Structure 1
Amino acid sequence: MTVQPNIQGQAQANPVSEIWYTRCPVPTTSGIAQHFRWIHQEFERHGIKVESIRAAADQAVRNSHYSHTQPASFREGGNVPPIWTRANGQDTVVVGITWVDEEQLILVRPDSDIKTLADLKGRRFGVPKHDTKIVDIARGQDLRGLLTALDLAGLTPADVEFVNVAGGEFDLREQGERREGRRHGVVEALLAGTVDVIYAKGAVSAALVVKHGLHPIIDINANPDPFVRVNAGTPRPITVNRDLAVERPDIVARYLAILLKTAAWAKENPTAVVKAIAAETSSTEEIVRKGYGPELHLHFDVKLTEQYIAALRKQKDYLLEWGFLKEDFDFDGWILPGPLELARALAADDAIKITL
């Protein structure tokens, strides 16, 4: 590749001995790649140690999952924290975006008289409100899902009552309890009858239907318009520290090349993908299949298409409009396509190998 001499020069001038990664407990390409240790194997082959932010003993390091303060770190997952942290001035860049559709359910109790979207008028919508120093991720997610349902019903926020359900601080670790347990507040409020409607998605929503018999009145994910399906989990940006991307594009490209290889592998290995995502989400394989559908293995591609970028911008605009961000930021300048272009060349040259 013609870029190789420059990359080698940058590697000598800016040595890096370790990188850090984190991903959300949802289907991510990074999650599959780390599950099979492909990220670790590739970088350790080049003398670079790979560390997990979520596995760190120091909570300040674990908090980087949300704030992206850890040097030389990569993140793939829900879009609320990376948008929030960029709006707060953290100098990150988006070097890729993934989009794994997941069921997005508006749920009611099995004995509820709410049967259709039209029945939402005048009802109590349960929305989590966490006592947190970071952005309230769950609130941003659930509120958007409920607002989307209202819009599809031809209703406005003034037509319903939003009920805050208190929650605590976030601390995401490498291992955790089943995902539905983390939604105890809103689920219990619904089961107790203090709210009439809640939102849930993916493995969480699938588990809640099975465990509590909750009734979905709509799956937003069934809407053919991808922009209607935009929420905290769709799309998912891959972010890195800008200084790493500028000073060591070879490292960022290598990480992305592993993900490109992983996405290609996933297309040929649906059963192994389900097993890996079950581990990533602390769910059963049955729940993974219910929550993410039979074509899950086909949708781990890393892209920076106009649609993916526009969808991420729409999510940023929503968070700004509803007060989750203190101020706007240069969205266009946040997108850095160069490393992904280098990654495609690396992957095409078969320089990156993944093996079980």
Structure 2
Amino acid sequence: MPHIDSPQEIVKEIRITRCPVPTAASLALDLGLLDQELEKSGCTAAELTRDTRQALPDAHFNHTLPFLVREGGNIPALWARSTGSDTRLIGLSWVDEYQAILTLPDSDLQEPGDLRGRRIGIPRHRYLEIDFRAAQALRGFHNALSLANLTLDDVNITHLEAIREGRRDSWNTEIEALQRREIDAVFVKGATGLEVARTVGLKEVIELGFHPDPLVRVNNGVPRTVTVDTALTEQEHIVEQILTSLLRAADWSKDHPEDFIRVVTKETGASSEYVASAYRNISLRPALREDYLTALEAQSRFLFEHGFLPNPVNVWDWILPEPLAAAEQNIAKGVSLT
């Protein structure tokens, strides 16, 4: 990365945002690891969701804020890249999470093949720049139908107008429509999805999140992306330090499962018992593995083909591998360990 000779060009504060799901970023913030790393460059980190100076939450989706780091669902990250936001992909994480097609307990739906000709509920959050909740529901049904050699053309898509909701996943629109019998099946995911499935007493048509084929598990949260504003990559060592803190946090979580559940419970808003059951095969470590990238490429194609991306995204051209390689070396050498 190039050296920056002019002091006024050196960033003193980055902003960081993450989705309310298991992320290395949430752990790095909670443990103070991000601050420890950035302190070496005289830099600090501000959490985007806690910034009250102006309405900045949209940057979580459009990634237009300078010196922004984002870890979370891949749909907004791909959409931002597709619309022209100047970002680079610096890592991917893979956390298998509960994903299911649900129906009413007295429904005759038993397996994905039974969805043929049925009404599937797709929530439409039209106030969002990128309706990732509609996209993830459609992807979930696509994955389920593929297991029965069916496609989305074999079902009746029912669009459900959703009210404005917060950052955390909410399934109220879909569940209420299901209970009114306006639709036959819904998609849910994560700890909040598992919690609503159990507390409402709904029946699983199929659980997708732990299917043996990893491509069946691909959705907004699998794999999750770590992206940065390209301008931040021009700051010497900053991105490397960010990734070092994420690697340290991910490694720490393996030996502290109870603390991991505590942090994720706080992030998701779900009960700890559902957090403990909803996430498996947890690999919070940022990586740029070929299988992760292949999965993201498949997701990118799906989103473009179904109109969620205005332009195709070439995942392989998006990646910036050097900062992660440097961060991995730091961990291997113990440079950042205290």
* TM-score (normalised: structure 1): 0.89
Could you tell me whether the CA contact under 8 Å between 1:122 and 1:159 is conserved in 2?
yes
Q: Residue 276 in 1 paired to residue 263 in 2? A: yes
- 1:116 maps to 111
Could you tell me whether the CA contact under 8 Å between 1:254 and 1:346 is conserved in 2?
no
CA shift, 1:41, in A, is 3.6
**222, 227, 244: which is aligned to 2:210?**
222
- 2:161 maps to 166
Residues 277-319 of structure 1, C-alpha deviation per residue, up to 9 Å, x if partnerless? Answer: 11111122101012114x54xx211100111111111111111
CA shift, 1:265, in A, is 1.0
Counterpart residue type for residue 150 of structure 1: L
CA shift, 1:145, in A, is 0.2
Could you tell me whether the CA contact under 8 Å between 1:55 and 1:62 is conserved in 2?
no
Could you tell me whether the CA contact under 8 Å between 2:97 and 2:210 is conserved in 1?
no
- 2:95 maps to 100
- 1:82 maps to 77
CA shift, 1:155, in A, is 1.8
306-315 or 29-38, larger mean C-alpha shift: 29-38
- 1:256 maps to 243
- 2:292 maps to 308
Q: Residue 143 in 1 paired to residue 127 in 2? A: no
CA shift, 1:171, in A, is 5.5
Residues 316-349 of structure 1, C-alpha deviation per residue, up to 9 Å, x if partnerless? Answer: 1111000011122443221110110111122223
39-48 or 250-259, larger mean C-alpha shift: 39-48
CA shift, 1:240, in A, is 0.2
Structure 1 CA distance for aligned equivalents of residues 166 and 171 of structure 2: 14
- 1:334 maps to 318
Distance verdict in 2 for CA 1:11–1:269, change over 3 Å: farther
Instruction: Map residues 169-188 of structure 1 onto 2, 5 A cutoff.
Output: 169=164, 172=167, 179=168, 182-188=170-176
Counterpart residue type for residue 237 of structure 1: T
Query: Gaps spanning 5+ residues in structure 2: where?
Result: none
Counterpart residue type for residue 138 of structure 1: R
Counterpart residue type for residue 266 of structure 2: A
Structure 2 CA distance for aligned equivalents of residues 36 and 264 of structure 1: 12
CA shift, 1:169, in A, is 4.6
CA shift, 1:58, in A, is 4.6
CA shift, 1:46, in A, is 4.1
Distance verdict in 2 for CA 1:201–1:19, change over 3 Å: same
* TM-score (normalised: structure 2): 0.94
CA shift, 1:208, in A, is 1.0
- 1:350 maps to 334
- Higher normalized strand content (fraction of residues): 2
Residues 27-75 of structure 1, C-alpha deviation per residue, up to 9 Å, x if partnerless? Answer: 1111111122321343245431210111122554211100111111100
Counterpart residue type for residue 228 of structure 1: V
Instruction: Map residues 201-212 of structure 1 onto 2, 5 A cutoff.
Output: 201-212=189-200
> SS of 1:118's equivalent?
helix
Structure 1 CA distance for aligned equivalents of residues 142 and 53 of structure 2: 37
- 1:32 maps to 27
> SS of 1:301's equivalent?
strand
Structure 2 CA distance for aligned equivalents of residues 282 and 97 of structure 1: 24
Structure 2 CA distance for aligned equivalents of residues 277 and 114 of structure 1: 33
Aligned residue pairs, count: 337
> SS of 1:222's equivalent?
coil
Structure 2 CA distance for aligned equivalents of residues 289 and 19 of structure 1: 32
Could you tell me whether the CA contact under 8 Å between 1:63 and 1:171 is conserved in 2?
no
41-50 or 79-88, larger mean C-alpha shift: 41-50
Could you tell me whether the CA contact under 8 Å between 1:62 and 1:171 is conserved in 2?
no
CA shift, 1:150, in A, is 0.9
Query: Gaps spanning 5+ residues in structure 1: where?
Result: 1-5, 173-178
- % identical equivalent positions: 36
Root-mean-square deviation over aligned CA pairs: 1.9
CA shift, 1:118, in A, is 2.3
- 1:3 maps to none
Q: Give the ranges of 4+ consecutive aligned residues of structure 1 lying more than 6 Å apart after TM superposition.
A: none
CA shift, 1:350, in A, is 2.3
**272, 278, 288: which is aligned to 2:275?**
288
CA shift, 1:210, in A, is 2.1
